[in-house]
Amino acid sequence: MTRLLYQGVPGVADSSASILFTSRVGPGAPGLDFETGDRTDPKLHEECGVVAIHNHAHAAHQAYLGLYALQHRGQESAGIATADGHHLANIKGMGLVSEIFTDDVLQKLPGHMAIGHTRYSTTGDSALLNAQPIRVDSTKGLIAIAHNGNLVNLGNLRERLERDGAYFQTTSDSEIIVQLIAHSAADTLVDAIADSLSQVEGAFSIVMMTRDRIFAARDPRGFRPLSMGRMKNPDGHETIVFASESCAFDLLRAEFIRDVLPGELVMVSQDGVTSRQFASGVPQSSCVFEHVYFARPDSRIFGRWVQESRDQMGRQLARESGVSADVVVPVPDSGVTAALGYAEQAHIPFRLGLIRNHYVGRTFIEPEQRVRDFGVRLKLNPVHNLLAGKRVILIDDSIIRGTTSRKIVRMVRGAGATEVHLRISCPPTISPCFYGVDTPSKRDLIAANQSVDEIRRYIEADSLAYLSLDGLLSCVQDDKKPGYCTACYTGNYPTQWVDVEDILPATVSS
């Protein structure tokens, strides 16, 4: 049974009081529903997806559908807040969107406006308390906020706000923004929001809601995607929607309008849509890994279709590091589009030689390595008759620690492949991310510690090649726009504030 947290829900006792006065949460905190994420999970994780709905008779249900489409951006907790012009209700829980928001629960969320959030979080920080949206009764009125990304000047801001008398109820970045809004000297709410956003540094795509307005904003560098769309309703009125990825619009039958611009604050009210820049003149640095792995291929982000970018990555990889082989096999699901591009470019047959079981639960949270090994076999299974006696090119989107890649190479060879050549559709990951992606620190990134040939030997492949940085950028840019963050491949961070401990040169392991 999923435990839910209710705030301001008509006819339901507020469950926030006993929890919101807990200053900090973590493993073992009494009365809290949490799960422990495992940092040895082989894939990198996005932390969040957000959605907002303005002016729809069933706003909560629309937010649910939007979150359902964004489930790949976070599977640990989800929440929806709604407003009807007078009240602002919020329900959130641990688990998948469909587990939390049954019809019964959705019916408790009245109103024509909604914001929603789905979250992946890291060890010790995954409590229900930090699930979003966060609903705060501030000096500027009731505000609900949902945030995708990661602020990098948190410590300084928090200290300053605490000196000014702020009392923090969560460890979430989002609350920093709400506290800045509450402490802003600006007269109007929209000025206070713009003022607070101009003080935070890092990655944020945010949706906010008051009793009668929706706000959406992106950080000045545009790290994370956020798109705006519209729905025409049968009675002629228009619904404005925002979502982390445009794939959410398809499920909502909404039309894509445009991306929220870096440094832009959009406000939607009964009077229509208005917009202002709260920051400008900062070079754009959108996360290139969104195109490589995070975003769904049926989404359009940063002005490009993800499917097109991944197809190009596969083609470029074939041009840069072709090898004679019989079949091209993707590591599903994320390697599929790049593998199709590679196969077409190289004129080598594409085969689904590895099958993914989509119904495996979160095996990665098991603490024992033995169980994790089993987890890879639970998730992937080789198709023996496609692989036996074949020279195989395997296409994947990243190698983080190398342990999973080695298991997959062994799996393919164990199915009878005579050669296994691994091709990666991005450059080696050598540095951690501070902008909302859960990466291991440098010492745990295999490419930060070993040469490509050492990695090849470790994973037991016949050959290994990565896409070059220039090759990657050529697949995601039109006329060199937009600018991309490539810090996890280069160590060059677009912001000043990073955790120096985490980016110190890695110790070369033996």
Catalytic residue IDs:
48
Instruction: Give the one residue of 146, 177, 313, 437 binding ligand SF4; rule: CB under 6 A.
Output: 437
435 is an interface residue for ligand SF4 by CB under 6 A: yes
Task: Pick the piece of the chain touching ligand SF4 (CB under 6 A) from 168-176, 351-359, 379-387, 479-487.
Answer: 479-487
Nearest to 282 by CA among 222, 205, 225: 222
Instruction: Give the one residue of 487, 498, 503, 506 binding ligand SF4; rule: CB under 6 A.
Output: 487
Sign of the torsion formed by the C-alpha atoms of 485, 491, 495 and 501: positive
Nearer to ligand SF4, 6 or 294 (CB): 294
Among residue numbers 163 through 222, which ones bind ligand SF4 (CB under 6 A)? none
Nearer to ligand SF4, 208 or 433 (CB): 433
Task: Pick the piece of the chain touching ligand SF4 (CB under 6 A) from 33-41, 52-60, 275-283, 483-491.
Answer: 483-491
Nearest to 489 by CA among 40, 44, 42: 44
Nearer to ligand SF4, 203 or 207 (CB): 203
Measured CA to CA, the distance from residue 466 to residue 244 in angstroms comes to 28
Nearer to ligand SF4, 166 or 261 (CB): 261
Q: How many CB atoms lie within 10 A of CB 506?
A: 18
Measured CA to CA, the distance from residue 81 to residue 474 in angstroms comes to 40
Long-range contacts of 23-31 (CB under 8 A, 24+ apart): 23/168, 23/169, 24/171, 25/127, 25/129, 25/130, 25/171, 26/124, 26/125, 26/127, 27/123, 27/124, 29/127
Query: Could you give the string, one character per residue 228-267, with x where binding to ligand SF4 holds by CB under 6 A and - elsewhere?
Result: ----------------------------------------
Nearest to 301 by CA among 312, 289, 315, 290: 290
Q: Is 260 helix (H, G, I), strand (E, B) or coil?
A: coil
Residue located via tokens 């000096």:
139
Nearer to ligand SF4, 321 or 486 (CB): 486
Task: Pick the piece of the chain touching ligand SF4 (CB under 6 A) from 230-238, 405-413, 415-423, 432-440.
Answer: 432-440
446 is an interface residue for ligand SF4 by CB under 6 A: no
Measured CA to CA, the distance from residue 382 to residue 353 in angstroms comes to 6
289 is an interface residue for ligand SF4 by CB under 6 A: yes
Measured CA to CA, the distance from residue 504 to residue 510 in angstroms comes to 18
State the distance between the two ends of the chain, measured CA to CA, in whole angstroms: 46
Beta strands in 397-497 (DSSP E): 419-424, 437-438, 463-466, 484-485
Measured CA to CA, the distance from residue 149 to residue 169 in angstroms comes to 19
Task: Pick the piece of the chain touching ligand SF4 (CB under 6 A) from 11-19, 80-88, 395-403, 429-437.
Answer: 429-437
Nearer to ligand SF4, 250 or 444 (CB): 444
Nearer to ligand SF4, 73 or 135 (CB): 73
485 is an interface residue for ligand SF4 by CB under 6 A: yes
Which pair of tokens denotes residue 337?
Answer: 């589009």
Q: How far is the CB of 133 from ligand SF4 (least distance, A)?
A: 23
Size of the site for ligand SF4 (CB under 6 A): 11
Q: How far is the CB of 44 from ligand SF4 (least distance, A)?
A: 7
Q: How far is the CB of 165 from ligand SF4 (least distance, A)?
A: 34
433 is an interface residue for ligand SF4 by CB under 6 A: yes
What does the buried/exposed string (b/e) look like for 411-433 if buried means 16 or more CB atoms within 10 Å of the residue's CB?
Answer: bbbebebebbbbbbbbbbbbbbb
Q: How far is the CB of 459 from ligand SF4 (least distance, A)?
A: 22
Q: How far is the CB of 281 from ligand SF4 (least distance, A)?
A: 20
Sign of the torsion formed by the C-alpha atoms of 90, 95, 96 and 101: negative
Q: How far is the CB of 299 from ligand SF4 (least distance, A)?
A: 16
Quick one: DSSP state of residue 216? E
| 287 in Cβ contact with 224 (< 8 Å) | yes
Q: How far is the CB of 356 from ligand SF4 (least distance, A)?
A: 23
Which pair of tokens denotes residue 333?
Answer: 């699901």
Nearer to ligand SF4, 215 or 289 (CB): 289
486 is an interface residue for ligand SF4 by CB under 6 A: yes
Q: How far is the CB of 41 from ligand SF4 (least distance, A)?
A: 15
Among residue numbers 269 through 288, which ones bind ligand SF4 (CB under 6 A)? 287-288
Question: Which residues in this chain contact ligand SF4 in the complex, by CB under 6 A?
Answer: 223, 287-289, 433, 435, 437, 485-488
